[in-house]
Amino acid sequence: MPTVAEIMSTDVRVVEPQDSLRHAAALMSELNVGALPVCSGRALLGMVTDRDIAVRGVASGLVPDEACVSDVMSAGTLWCTEDQDTEEVQRLMGQAQVRRLPVINLDKELVGIVSLGDLALRQPGPVDRTVREISEPPGG
């Protein structure tokens, strides 16, 4: 099995906790992604998703130009390391029901992101079980 380092995307753009929700949403739109790592320097603090911005932010009455990413982000985000094998990461993604994981190095610095798409395209095993686990309704 390949390691995460062999299949991950390394050209990851990030937002900082003090960035506005509008900035995060605009960056997501520009990159055509639904989630961004939140970092202070290269240290991973969490993730923010388009759903976080819409549900925790806008639907709760936060003003996109005034509210910060830190107001809606998920802290304590699940992550993997660049030396983990892809089979282990697939199991982790399935159990946590997530489609992407930030990748950190031994210094706990963000070095990439691995997605379900990366796994489907760049590793030899099937990802159908992981897709089913991710898609399963909670408690189902």
List the chain pLDDT tens, one digit each, 140 residues.
Answer: 789 999 999 999 999 999 999 999 999 999 999 999 999 998 999 999 999 999 999 999 999 999 999 999 998 889 999 999 998 998 898 888 888 999 999 888 999 999 988 888 776 666 666 666 666 776 65
The answer to the question of residue 70 being in a domain is yes
The answer to the question of residue 126 being in a domain is yes
The answer to the question of residue 27 being in a domain is yes
The answer to the question of residue 98 being in a domain is yes
Note the pLDDT of residue 81.
96
Classified as helix, coil or strand, 125 is: coil
The answer to the question of residue 45 being in a domain is yes
The answer to the question of residue 140 being in a domain is no
pTM score, whole prediction: 0.84
Note the pLDDT of residue 132.
66
Q: Are strands 100-104 and 80-81 parallel, antiparallel or unpaired?
A: parallel
Note the pLDDT of residue 42.
87
Q: Determine the structural domain holding residue 76 and report its residue range.
A: 4-135
CATH of the domain at 72: 3.10.580.10
Q: Are 90 and 127 in contact (CB under 8 A)?
A: yes
Number of separate domains in the chain: 1
Rg (CA), the chain: 15
The answer to the question of residue 74 being in a domain is yes
